[in-house]
Amino acid sequence: EPEVTQTPSHQVTQMGQEVILRCVPISNHLYFYWYRQILGQKVEFLVSFYNNEISEKSEIFDDQFSVERPDGSNFTLKIRSTKLEDSAMYFCASSQDPSPSTDTQYFGPGTRLTVL
Amino acid sequence: RKEVEQDPGPFNVPEGATVAFNCTYSNSASQSFFWYRQDCRKEPKLLMSVYSSGNEDGRFTAQLNRASQYISLLIRDSKLSDSATYLCVVNNQAGTALIFGKGTTLSVSS
C-alpha cells in the first residue's frame, strides 16, 4: 500500500537555527499538507499546497515558515529561525483531491522536532 | 468556543464493552466529518467518515446531527487493539484543511 514518508524521524536543533523537514507524498497525489501537534495538544493545520502554490494557510504559518516542492517527489517545510515553541511533531499529508468530502488525506509518520 | 470539542477521557473499559464518544463542532458551515484514530506518538489514521444518515463499519457506528452540531462514535465489543486516542475531525470552511479535536483516549483491558 502506498504511503507518505517523512525524514528525519527526529530532528534536534538549537533555537534560532533553520530546519528543513522532508516529505515524500504518495506518488499520484496532487495536494499536500503540513500539520503539527505539540505534545499533549491537538493536531493543527499549517498549510496546504497545490500546483506549486500555497492554497491555504493558518495563522500559525507565519513568515518564518515556508514550503516548497523542489522536485517531482519531495515536499518540504522550512522553519527559518526556530523557537522553543516550534517543538512539536510535524505531519505531512497528501491527497488526490483537495476536498475532504471526496478524498482522504493520508498522513506520514511525522518528524519530531525538538528545539533546545 | 473551541472549533471541535471532545471529552478527553480516559475511558477505561473491559474487553467486550460498548463505549460511546461524543464531539461538538462550532462551525455550522462544516461539510465533512470524520473519526480518526491515533496511537501513541503515531500519525492520525482515518477510521471512518461520518455521513448525515449515520453509517456503520463493522463494530463502529458513527452518527451526525447537523442541527445540534454533534458527532458520535459507538464502538461495540471492544478489543484490546481498540486502545488509542479517537480524534473527531471536521473540514474547515474552505473545505481543504482538517480541523481536529484534541481526542478522547480509550483504554481497553482484559
Task: Quick: pLDDT tens for B31-50.
Answer: 889 999 999 989 999 999 99
Cα gap A65→A46, rounded to integer Å: 9
Q: Is any Cβ of chain B less than 8 angstroms from the Cβ of A44? A: yes
CB contact under 8 A, B43 and A108: yes
pLDDT at B94 over 80: no
CB contact under 8 A, A56 and B96: yes
Q: Is any Cβ of chain A less than 8 angstroms from the Cβ of B87? A: yes
Q: Is any Cβ of chain A less than 8 angstroms from the Cβ of B67? A: no
Closest Cα in chain B, distance from residue A43 (Å): 6
Q: Which residue has the higher pLDDT, B73 or B94?
A: B73
Q: Is any Cβ of chain B less than 8 angstroms from the Cβ of A42? A: yes
Q: A93 CB contacts (<8 Å, ≥6 apart)?
A: A4, A32, A33, A34, A35, A105, A106, A107, A108
pLDDT at A100 over 70: no
Residue B54's pLDDT band (cuts 50, 70, 90): confident
pLDDT for A32-86, tens place per residue?
999 999 999 999 999 999 989 999 999 999 999 999 998 878 999 999 999 999 9
Angle at alpha carbon of residue B32, lines to B19 and B28, rounded to 5° = 95
Q: What is the pLDDT of residue B52?
A: 85
